[in-house]
């Protein structure tokens, strides 16, 4: 039994080492990208500007700014940082798990008829109605998976599925985008 477990662990470590070793050079690369996506709970389109930096050949970080205009009844914006662990599928294609933290602000917009009703009540009573703050500010966690394909030395496309975990506003979203890569010469 112990030998079987040791054999499986050794095989797993060997596969992970090969995956990291054969990774197409990502270290000291910087990329700027743009994503479009869809948030399922709020039924909104999202636009994201992201910056990526390859710390090692297999590990990179991504900072982002995200905006989702009010389409249904919610609007949202956020900033955050994700970590990607690149696993090569081929010389130009990568699969990567995603884990990250962020700060999200979302608000529920009032419908036009509700705003008109409040205005009528205020006019009749000559008293302003104190509305509760409908903005919610939360720390968020993201978990997901992504795929990237490098067309050339400088251009790539990517797609990701992420689950945004917020205290009372979890949601799933899909995104796809493009990125431009720069090679940095950083002396060690």
Distance separating alpha carbons of residues 181 and 82, to the nearest angstrom = 18
The whole-number pLDDT of residue 172 equals: 92
188 in a structural domain: no
The whole-number pLDDT of residue 80 equals: 94
Distance separating alpha carbons of residues 123 and 113, to the nearest angstrom = 15
Q: How many domains does the chain have?
A: 1
Which residues of the chain have a pLDDT value below 50? 6, 9, 12-25, 132-133, 187-188
Instruction: Check if the beta carbon of residue 47 is closer than 8 Å to that of residue 39.
Output: no
The whole-number pLDDT of residue 8 equals: 54
The whole-number pLDDT of residue 136 equals: 73
Distance separating alpha carbons of residues 144 and 81, to the nearest angstrom = 13
The whole-number pLDDT of residue 106 equals: 76
11 in a structural domain: yes
The whole-number pLDDT of residue 12 equals: 45
Show Cβ contacts of residue 146 under 8 Å, excluding neighbours closer than 6 positions: 84, 95, 96, 97, 98, 158, 159, 160, 161
Show Cβ contacts of residue 111 under 8 Å, excluding neighbours closer than 6 positions: 73
Distance separating alpha carbons of residues 146 and 173, to the nearest angstrom = 12
The whole-number pLDDT of residue 137 equals: 83
45 in a structural domain: yes
The whole-number pLDDT of residue 31 equals: 93
Residues spanned by the domain of 15: 2-183
Kindly report the CATH number assigned to the domain that includes residue 96. Answer: 2.40.160.20
141 in a structural domain: yes
The whole-number pLDDT of residue 15 equals: 44
Q: Which one, of 25, 15, 7, lies nearest residue 184 by Cα?
A: 25
CA distances in angstroms from 62 to 29, 37, 95, 100, 112, listed in the order given: 12, 17, 15, 9, 38
* Per-residue model confidence as pLDDT tens digits over 136-167: 788 999 999 999 999 998 999 999 999 988 87
């Amino acid at each position: 039994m112990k030998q079987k477990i040791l054999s499986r662990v050794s095989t797993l470590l060997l596969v992970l080492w090969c995956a990291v070793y054969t990774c197409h050079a990502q270290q000291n690369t910087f990329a700027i990208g743009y994503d479009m996506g869809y948030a399922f709970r709020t039924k909104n389109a999202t636009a994201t500007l992201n910056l990526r930096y390859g710390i090692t050949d297999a590990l990179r970080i991504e900072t982002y700014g995200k905006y989702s205009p009010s389409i249904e009844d919610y609007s949202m914006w956020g900033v955050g940082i994700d970590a990607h662990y690149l696993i090569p599928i081929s010389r130009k294609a990568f699969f990567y798990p995603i884990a990250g933290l962020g700060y999200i602000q979302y608000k529920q917009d009032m419908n036009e008829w509700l705003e008109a009703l409040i205005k009528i009540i205020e006019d009749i009573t000559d008293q302003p109605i104190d509305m509760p703050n409908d903005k919610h500010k939360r720390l968020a966690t993201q978990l997901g998976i992504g795929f990237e394909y490098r067309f050339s030395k400088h251009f790539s496309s990517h797609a990701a599925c992420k689950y945004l975990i917020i205290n009372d506003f979890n949601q799933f979203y899909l995104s796809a985008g493009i990125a431009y890569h720069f090679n940095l010469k950083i002396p060690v």
